[in-house]
């Protein structure tokens, strides 16, 4: 060692090195005291996100797409903010956006998409197709890779060939075109139900598989939400149903759900 116990250097390069080391250690301890455990740090960190609960769901058919959501917005899983919130947004005659998650981000995302769609209409003199909008949404989400829009988006509508389309996203823009999708707090309950009833994943090859008509899809959608509202506390109040059929205007319906 270069320093003696008295702190005076005999032949070391810097007589104050011990003092500097002590100061540095003191500073480090002040910045990150040992009693600030990772748990305390985690608790104290400001969280810019909140979650307003609820669920959305979409089913694509041969010539239709049908979306549903509940209308309850919840604070901290417990407190009801409103019983008629809008989780679904009709972007144009063939595109509907359904979102759960952080409602602030949902509204901002809607705004961004609406303005991009507006500009598209101005530039190209026609409405954007759902496939294009799906890609646009994916890019908008990934653009915020490290400060994401905390939303579980489902985009659905009628594509250029008149077929129903459902696109599912994660918060940072991973996109997938699928036959049916759900997002939100009741997603773990709705997806297995649709897997069974539409995907027929559990059915044997011989079993009867009813075709997915608009009527059946609508009924399945209603039943999914009625059942989810029975067991999931943030899903309830009303079902908001949006039906997009090829060559027809978009139809909206509201049905009652339990309010407790």
Partner 1 sequence: MGHKAPRLTSTGTTIVAAAYKGGLVMGADSRATAGNIIADKHCEKVHKLTESIYACGAGTAADLDQVTKMLSGNLRLLELNTGRKARVITALRQAKQHLFNYQGYIGAYLLIGGVDPTGPHLYMCSANGTTMAFPYTAQGSGSYAAITILERDFKPDMTKEEAESLVQRALEAGMHGDNASGNSLNLVVIEPTATVFKGPIIPDFCKRPEPNDLEYKFNKGSTKVLKQKAYKYDIVESMDISH
Residues 40-99 that bind partner 1 (CB under 8 A): 42, 53, 74, 77-80
Contact (Cβ atoms closer than 8 angstroms) between residue 212 and residue 31:
no
The residue among 2 and 255 lying less far from partner 1, judged by its C-beta, is 255
Least distance from partner 1 to the Cβ atom of residue 186, Å: 9
Contact (Cβ atoms closer than 8 angstroms) between residue 137 and residue 155:
yes
Out of 220, 242, 244, 250, point to the residue binding partner 1 (CB under 8 A). 220
The residue among 30 and 42 lying less far from partner 1, judged by its C-beta, is 42
Report the C-alpha gap between 152 and 169 in whole angstroms: 6
Tell me how many residues contact partner 1 (CB under 8 A): 38
Least distance from partner 1 to the Cβ atom of residue 121, Å: 38
The residue among 97 and 243 lying less far from partner 1, judged by its C-beta, is 243
The residue among 8 and 203 lying less far from partner 1, judged by its C-beta, is 203
| Site string (140-169) toward partner 1, x via CB under 8 A | ------------------------------
User: Is 258 one of the binding residues for partner 1 (CB under 8 A)?
Assistant: yes
Closest of 215, 202, 258 to residue 233, by C-alpha: 258
Report the C-alpha gap between 88 and 83 in whole angstroms: 14
The residue among 23 and 258 lying less far from partner 1, judged by its C-beta, is 258
The residue among 136 and 233 lying less far from partner 1, judged by its C-beta, is 233
Residues 177-196 that bind partner 1 (CB under 8 A): 185
- Only one residue has tokens 């003199």, namely 125
Dihedral, 120, 123, 126, 132 alpha carbons, nearest 10: -40
What is the Cα 52 distance to its own chain's centre? 11
The residue among 177 and 226 lying less far from partner 1, judged by its C-beta, is 226
Report the C-alpha gap between 55 and 99 in whole angstroms: 8
Give the count of beta carbons closer than 10 Å to the beta carbon of residue 91. 20
Q: Which residues pair with 154 in a beta bridge?
A: 98, 168
- Provide the sign of the torsion angle of the four alpha carbons 91, 93, 97, 98, taken in this order: positive
Where does residue 14 rank: exposed (0-12), middle (13-18), buried (19+ CB within 10 A)? exposed
Out of 144, 163, 177, 226, point to the residue binding partner 1 (CB under 8 A). 226
| Site string (227-256) toward partner 1, x via CB under 8 A | x--xxxxx-x------------------xx
Three-state DSSP at 118 gives: helix
Structure tokens at 71: 């209308």
Out of 6, 10, 13, 260, point to the residue binding partner 1 (CB under 8 A). 260
Residues in contact with partner 1 by CB under 8 A are 38-39, 42, 53, 74, 77-80, 185, 197, 202-208, 216, 218-220, 222-223, 226-227, 230-234, 236, 255-260
């Amino acid at each position: 060692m270069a320093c003696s116990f008295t702190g005076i250097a005999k032949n070391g390069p810097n007589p104050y090195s011990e003092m500097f080391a002590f100061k540095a250690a003191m500073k480090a301890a002040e910045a990150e005291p040992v009693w600030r455990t990772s748990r305390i740090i985690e608790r104290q960190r400001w969280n810019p996100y909140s979650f307003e609960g609820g669920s959305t769901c979409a089913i694509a058919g041969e010539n239709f797409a049908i979306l549903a959501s509940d209308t309850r917005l919840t604070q901290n899983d417990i407190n009801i903010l409103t019983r008629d919130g809008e989780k679904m947004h009709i972007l144009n005659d063939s595109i509907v956006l359904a979102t759960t998650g952080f409602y602030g981000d949902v509204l901002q995302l809607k705004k961004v998409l609406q303005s991009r769609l507006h500009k598209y209409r101005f530039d190209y003199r026609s409405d954007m197709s759902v496939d294009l909008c799906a890609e646009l949404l994916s890019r908008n989400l990934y653009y915020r890779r490290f400060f994401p829009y905390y939303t579980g988006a489902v985009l659905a509508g009628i594509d250029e060939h008149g077929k129903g389309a459902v696109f599912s996203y994660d918060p940072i823009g991973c996109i997938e075109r699928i036959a049916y999708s759900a997002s939100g707090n009741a997603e773990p309950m709705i997806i297995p139900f649709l897997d069974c009833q539409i995907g027929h994943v559990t059915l044997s090859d011989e079993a009867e598989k009813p075709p997915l008509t608009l009527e059946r899809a609508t009924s399945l959608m209603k039943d999914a939400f009625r059942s989810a509202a029975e067991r999931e506390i943030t899903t309830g109040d009303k079902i908001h149903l949006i039906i997009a059929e090829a060559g027809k205007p978009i139809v909206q319906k509201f049905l009652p759900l339990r309010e407790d």
